Amino acid sequence: MFTHDGDKLKIKAATQAGVSAYVVGTIPSERLTPVIDAAIARFKETKQLKEELSVANLNLEERELVERAKGILMRQRNLDDDEAYAMLCEMAVKRHMKLADLSSQLIETAKTLTV
């Protein structure tokens, strides 16, 4: 973003909105390309980090579902952790489902049965 306004609040708002570079004042033409290249590189880096965070959060949510489903099986079937996990995996394979999806279904079914 090129501007003549160096107000700190506006700079903060612009960067929070996704601006990768905030240039105040005039800039010589020979410096323009490197500034734009740096802003593009920063944007790509930020985008990649956001995507990685999204994947990590999804993996964490899925792992939490599996852990909850294992807990249900452990209590209801008197299984240890490894046995419950093996049972979940076997059920997921037989049903051609992702482990997290099966775990979610098991959790919802258990909620329905305990109400």
Q: What is the pLDDT of residue 20?
A: 81
Read off the DSSP letter of residue 1. Answer: -
Extended strands (E) in 1-115: 2-3, 23-24
CA distances to 70, 78, 105 from 58, in Å: 18, 29, 17
Name the CA radius of gyration of the chain, rounded: 25
Binning pLDDT at 50, 70 and 90, where does residue 29 land? confident
pLDDT in tens, 73-107: 999 999 999 999 999 999 999 999 999 999 999 99
Give me the domains of the chain, ranges plus CATH numbers: 2-114 (1.10.10.10)
Report percent pLDDT > 90 for the chain. Answer: 62
Whole-model pTM: value is: 0.70
Kindly give, in sequence order, each residue whose CB lies less than 8 Å from that of residue 114, ignoring residues fewer than 6 positions away: none
d(CA 86, CA 76): 15
